[in-house]
Chain A
Amino acid sequence: MNRRIYVGLDIGSISSEALLLSEEGILSYSIMATGPNPKRATRECLKEALSKGGIGEESISRVVATGYGRISVPFKAKEVTEITCHARGSHFLFPRTRTVIDIGGQDSKVITLDDRGRVTDFVMNDKCAAGTGRFLEVMAHALEVKLSEMGRRSLKTKKGVPITSMCTVFAESEVISLIAEGYGVEEILKGIHDSIAHRIFRMTRRLRVRGEITISGGVAKNEGIVEALKNLFGMEINLPDEPQIVGALGAALYAKEMI
């Protein structure tokens, strides 16, 4: 039987994701570093997702590309922005979502949506990558902590050291000074996460946030930031099993719905 396979490709500044979708649901996905060549990342990522799903390239019905590298995807049927795709993907996973917080590699976005998953408004960070994945990478490096361990370690303490600089370069210097002053790594990590959460919370204030909130993007894997956001919003936040594929899922859903 010929299954129709729809592909969503999210080519971000740090990571790329490919997701295969059929009428039955998600078949497989892959996540890898984008690196300096987005075209190569696209090919490799799709190849891996196809291999994981045991599917041949010939089964692909349609590809929709999203993310910063969407323009460079050669075999797409359509390009859709990551804002629209994250909204669509989040709504698919949590249909009562009305606000999406997407923190990616180089930018963060807050998106409001209607009951059909369509974007009604959005805000993005501007001019700098403070409070995004790249910011966290630099901080992890300064603190000599693995990126994947940052969240868990920050939850070991209740009191964070306030980080006043949001410029990545200045914040790195501030973190190094705090280490020199004798503050514990966990306290500094909590301070970093709190400052990012505050920044996101302020962004949401520019929109009319209502209904359920879903968080997506690679930074959502950081438990410390999710926890800080829950505290600020005073409510639960939907966290997908794999927050990094929400954009690709949205793109695949658009591929499926295209006539």
Chain B
Amino acid sequence: MANKAIGLKFLRKMIHFPSTYSFVLPFFNLLHSKENQAYRVWVRFLLSTFRDAYAHQKPVVWINSFLPSELIYGLDAIPILPEIISALVSYLGWSGRFLSRADTSISTDLCSFYRCALGLALEDFLPRPDLILSSSQLCDGANKFFNYLSRLYHCPHLLLDPPYSDHPRSHRYMEGQIKEVVDKATKILSLPLRKERLRLVLNRSNQARHWIEKINQLRQTIPSPFPGSEGLSYLSGMTFHSMGSPWALRFFPLLYAEIERRVFSKKGYLPEEKHRFLWLHHVRPYYKNEIFNILSSRGIALSFEEANYLYWPPLDPSEPWKSLADKILSNVWAGPIERRMKAIEEMRVAYSIDGVIHFSHWGCRQSCGGAAIIGDWLKEKGISYLILFGDGADPNNYSPGQTRTRLEAFIEMMG
């Protein structure tokens, strides 16, 4: 017990040193030498982000997943996404400790990604924010959580509150909100707003978007060249975190080349593909679980995931605020469910989908709320549909036996 406490104290100390990240980088490279190059870029991106955040050479801004990272790169600050760190911590099997720590302060009904992040914050495992900038889009609970953290860190919290509808008035309103928030942020962070930098960042974002579009087209190939389990981890992680950064321009072309190589060799990621599934929801369970092995062992390819659906139009660097307002308001998971259904239909056709799994993440009202409507609609079309209850970051809400039975029965049903 004492050894564990000392180990944790040491780890906490180590992660605060920027040089730690430069030191471990060669080991990570060695450890992941067999992984594809894009994956290795992702690891380097994370390490360099943490190194820079702890070096405090630039201000650190915490954001949530649906706040465009272009805003932060445009300000020349470092974006930190606590949800992504929680997913990583869960993947490493460490979430239990931090979830338990958070449970002393917050309800266990809150999303486990935020609970885990709170535990990490309370245990001082995260780079301190100079500013927290969150969006209420999809999740109001996130704002309350970020507000709680801003009090904890005694740092300002700014909020973007996108309207529900996609009306032209909403776009103008959103644009005004972004201008106001950016104006406040530049004052808080004492950063000048440089138009050239903003233009550069939006151009980078557009280039990355172009590669995402190409990747998504390649993934329509039969058999599926790229597993959805990876699409839901480092691929979606980069889409949430790196848009507007130079890392995105390294990552996405490399991933494209890797998938293209697989497509040319005509080899799917499974030896035999019986069915092609679509995964609904932005997250998957990141801790050790059997879900993806069960699917793969029965010839079920997770061909695509809505987390990587490209919903926003190219940005116009000459009109950055309007473009980012358009990006935010084109989010198909926000607003009327018909928008999301339209996107699902597009994915169903493009990826030749014959089965859909809707992952219902504990505490996530925004996605669970629409699960039944989507299910009824898909079943009408003759598409097999399963609501899979679970949790993305908290293994305590994962029931291996029930999950196995649900998945296997669903696969048996499809024949």
Chain B CB within 8 A of A26 CB: no
Stretch of B56-64, B76-84, B397-405 lying at the A interface: B397-405
Q: B386 to nearest A CB, angstroms?
A: 9
List, sorted by A's number, 12 A–B pairs whose CB atoms are closer than 8 Å.
A68-B405, A71-B404, A81-B408, A83-B409, A83-B412, A84-B409, A84-B412, A107-B405, A118-B415, A122-B409, A124-B405, A126-B402
B413 close to A127 (CB less than 8 A)? no
A124–B389 alpha-carbon span in the complex (Å): 10
* 5 residue pairs, one from A and one from B, having the closest CB atoms: A83-B409, A81-B409, A119-B413, A126-B389, A84-B412
A83 close to B405 (CB less than 8 A)? yes
User: Within B381-407, which residues are at the interface with A (CB < 8 Å)?
Assistant: 389, 397, 399, 401-402, 404-406
Pick from B379, B401, B412, B415: contact of A121, CB below 8 A: B379
Chain A CB within 8 A of B372 CB: yes
By a beta-carbon cutoff of 8 Å, the part of chain A in contact with chain B is 68, 71, 79-84, 107, 118-122, 124, 126-127, 206
Chain A residue nearest to B379 in the complex (CB): A121
Instruction: Tell whether A124 pairs with B401 under 8 Å between CB atoms, given A80-B412, A84-B412, A84-B413.
Output: no
Q: A99 to nearest B CB, angstroms?
A: 15
By a beta-carbon cutoff of 8 Å, the part of chain B in contact with chain A is 372, 379, 389, 397, 399, 401-402, 404-406, 408-409, 412-413, 415
Pick from A84, A107, A118, A127: contact of B389, CB below 8 A: A127
Pick from B372, B397, B399: contact of A206, CB below 8 A: B372
A205–B402 alpha-carbon span in the complex (Å): 21
Taking CB atoms, residues of chain A closer than 8 Å to B413 are: 83-84, 118-122
Give the one of B399, B405, B406, B408 with max A CB within 10 A. B405
A68 close to B401 (CB less than 8 A)? yes
Pick from A79, A107, A118, A206: contact of B402, CB below 8 A: A107
A206–B372 alpha-carbon span in the complex (Å): 8
A162–B408 alpha-carbon span in the complex (Å): 36
Give the one of A71, A81, A122 with max B CB within 10 A. A81
Given contacts A83-B409, A119-B409, A124-B402, 8 further A-B contacts (CB under 8 A): A82-B405, A83-B413, A107-B405, A118-B413, A118-B415, A119-B412, A121-B379, A126-B389
Taking CB atoms, residues of chain B closer than 8 Å to A84 are: 409, 412-413
A192–B401 alpha-carbon span in the complex (Å): 26
B409 close to A127 (CB less than 8 A)? no
A121–B378 alpha-carbon span in the complex (Å): 13
A244–B401 alpha-carbon span in the complex (Å): 20
A120–B404 alpha-carbon span in the complex (Å): 18
A interface SS class: mixed
Chain B residue nearest to A254 in the complex (CB): B412
Q: B236 to nearest A CB, angstroms?
A: 25
Pick from A80, A83, A121, A127: contact of B399, CB below 8 A: A127
Taking CB atoms, residues of chain B closer than 8 Å to A124 are: 402, 405-406
A126–B387 alpha-carbon span in the complex (Å): 11
Pick from B389, B397, B405: contact of A81, CB below 8 A: B405
Q: A225 to nearest B CB, angstroms?
A: 21
Taking CB atoms, residues of chain A closer than 8 Å to B401 are: 68
Chain A residue nearest to B399 in the complex (CB): A127
Taking CB atoms, residues of chain A closer than 8 Å to B409 are: 81-84, 119, 122
Q: A39 to nearest B CB, angstroms?
A: 16
Q: A240 to nearest B CB, angstroms?
A: 20
Taking CB atoms, residues of chain B closer than 8 Å to A121 are: 379, 413
Chain B residue nearest to A122 in the complex (CB): B409
Taking CB atoms, residues of chain A closer than 8 Å to B399 are: 127
Chain B residue nearest to A84 in the complex (CB): B412
Taking CB atoms, residues of chain B closer than 8 Å to A82 are: 405, 409
Q: B274 to nearest A CB, angstroms?
A: 16
Q: B145 to nearest A CB, angstroms?
A: 23
Taking CB atoms, residues of chain B closer than 8 Å to A127 are: 389, 397, 399
A107–B404 alpha-carbon span in the complex (Å): 13
Q: A207 to nearest B CB, angstroms?
A: 10
B402 close to A81 (CB less than 8 A)? no
Q: A98 to nearest B CB, angstroms?
A: 15
Chain B residue nearest to A111 in the complex (CB): B409
Q: B296 to nearest A CB, angstroms?
A: 16
Taking CB atoms, residues of chain A closer than 8 Å to B405 are: 68, 81-83, 107, 124
A121–B372 alpha-carbon span in the complex (Å): 13
A122–B413 alpha-carbon span in the complex (Å): 9
Taking CB atoms, residues of chain B closer than 8 Å to A80 are: 412
Taking CB atoms, residues of chain A closer than 8 Å to B404 are: 71
Chain A residue nearest to B391 in the complex (CB): A127
Chain A residue nearest to B413 in the complex (CB): A119
Chain A residue nearest to B385 in the complex (CB): A121
Q: B282 to nearest A CB, angstroms?
A: 21
A82–B405 alpha-carbon span in the complex (Å): 8
A77–B8 alpha-carbon span in the complex (Å): 48
Q: B62 to nearest A CB, angstroms?
A: 31
A246–B397 alpha-carbon span in the complex (Å): 30
Chain B residue nearest to A208 in the complex (CB): B379
Taking CB atoms, residues of chain A closer than 8 Å to B415 are: 118
